[in-house]
């Protein structure tokens, strides 16, 4: 029996490739599944000059897609998980999180000059407070400037000399087949990635049990546990604020390990903490890391209106 599945996605090259990875997997598992892909413009797509961290709505790359989902115009939304706010809108849920791609950030520079060899005053483009703080912590002599646009746009700006270098997610370049432009990978000890970076989220209506059952086999439990811990930490610390804050989870020797970070915007102060816990309890390491950072002085770095209760 043929079933129709309408999939919503952003129209960028990366979004189309990511959606293609999911639909190809579904098509192989369900040959009679008829899949229609619908491209949807989000607020972030319509306003390319607006820095995403300054937008009032933390879901500027997902809200319009979720609206289509809730209206029943699509059955499945494929997102870069890092674009999802920590609070899911009522009536939706994440059906599956497939295995994560490389979560690291990478440097792309003119002349393939490594980060430590960039001249003092070199202009490095990034619109991410998280990246900026960690880069300045390592090289306070660099000139960090905002940069927006698609991956290709950012690469072109470097090639044209508008910037000496930029920082991008390894996962996006890998999926686009652009490994060749990478100058170097930043170690996780130096730059922690965005919460959810490298992972995809498959979002459905909460009451759509048929689509949920169709997608659940695509879920990777280890990735789900790690990212659940990351998102739980961000939520407890006031997810969505523009201060440099992030967490990275992974499985080591059967344990869930969570590295959490909070920084001053200029990189002058970095708070880091590592928590460990059980895969079945991602909230545990998240709570421990949040408490530890608060005890280390997180209130001085968080915006006053975002400060959570220390014993919440």
- pLDDT of 236: 94
Residue 308: the pLDDT is 44
In order of their start, the domains of the chain are: 3-98+199-219 (3.40.190.10), 105-185 (3.40.190.10), 227-304 (3.30.160.40)
Give tens-digit pLDDT for 107-121: 999 999 999 999 999
| Contact criterion met (CB below 8 Å) for 26 and 214 | yes
Strand 3-9, strand 76-80: pairing? parallel
pLDDT tens column, 200-254: 999 999 999 999 999 999 999 999 999 999 999 999 998 556 789 999 999 999 9
pLDDT for the residue numbered 304: 47
Instruction: Give the residue among 253, 257, 251, 304 at the shortest CA–CA distance from 276.
Output: 257
pLDDT of 43 higher than 70:
yes
pLDDT value of position 56: 43
The pLDDT confidence band at residue 48, using thresholds 50, 70 and 90, is: low
Average pLDDT score over residue span 88-97: 96
What are the pLDDT digits (tens) for 6-24?
999 999 999 999 999 999 9
The DSSP result for the chain, as a single string, is --EEEEEEE-SSHHHHHHHHHHHHHHHHH-TTEEEEEEE---HHHH-TTS-GGG-SSTTTTTHHHHHHHHTTS-SEEEEEGGGS-SSPPTTEEEEE-PPP----EEEEEGGG--GGGSPTT-EEE---HHHHHHHHHH-TTSEEE---S-HHHHHHHHHTTS-SEEEEEHHHHHHTT-GGG--EEPPTTT-PPPTTTT-EEEEEETT-HHHHHHHGGG--HHHHHHHHHHHHHHHHTTTT-SSSEEEEEEEETTEEEEEEEEE-TTSS-EEEEEEEE-TT-THHHHHHHHHHHHHTTGGGTS-GGGPPPTT-
Q: What amino acid positions are annotated as catalytic residues? A: 83
């Amino acid at each position: 029996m043929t079933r129709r599945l309408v999939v919503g996605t952003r129209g960028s090259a990366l979004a189309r490739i990511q959606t293609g990875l999911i639909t190809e997997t579904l098509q192989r598992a369900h040959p009679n599944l008829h899949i229609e892909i619908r491209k949807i413009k989000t607020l972030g797509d319509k306003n390319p000059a607006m820095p995403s961290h300054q937008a009032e709505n933390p879901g500027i790359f997902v809200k319009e897609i979720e609206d289509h989902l809730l209206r029943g115009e699509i059955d499945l939304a494929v997102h870069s998980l890092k674009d999802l706010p920590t609070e899911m809108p009522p009536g939706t849920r994440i059906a599956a999180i497939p295995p994560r791609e490389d979560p690291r950030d990478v440097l792309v520079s003119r002349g393939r000059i490594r980060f430590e060899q960039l001249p003092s005053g070199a202009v490095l483009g990034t619109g991410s407070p998280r990246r900026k703080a960690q880069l300045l912590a390592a090289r306070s002599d660099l000139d960090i400037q905002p940069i927006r646009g698609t991956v290709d746009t950012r690469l072109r700006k470097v090639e044209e000399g508008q910037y000496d270098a930029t920082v991008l997610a390894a996962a996006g370049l890998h999926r686009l087949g652009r490994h060749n432009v990478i100058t170097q990978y930043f170690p996780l000890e130096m730059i922690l990635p965005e919460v959810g970076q490298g992972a995809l989220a498959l979002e459905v209506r909460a009451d759509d049990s048929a689509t949920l059952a169709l997608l659940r086999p695509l879920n990777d439990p280890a990735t789900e546990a790690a990212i659940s811990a990351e998102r739980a930490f961000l939520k407890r610390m006031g997810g969505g604020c523009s201060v440099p804050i992030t967490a990275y989870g992974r499985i080591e020797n059967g344990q869930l390990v969570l590295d959490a970070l909070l920084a001053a915007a200029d990189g002058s102060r970095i708070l880091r903490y590592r928590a460990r816990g059980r895969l079945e309890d991602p909230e545990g390491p998240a709570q421990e890391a949040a408490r530890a950072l608060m005890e280390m002085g997180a209130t001085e770095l968080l915006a006053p209106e975002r400060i959570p209760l220390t014993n919440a």
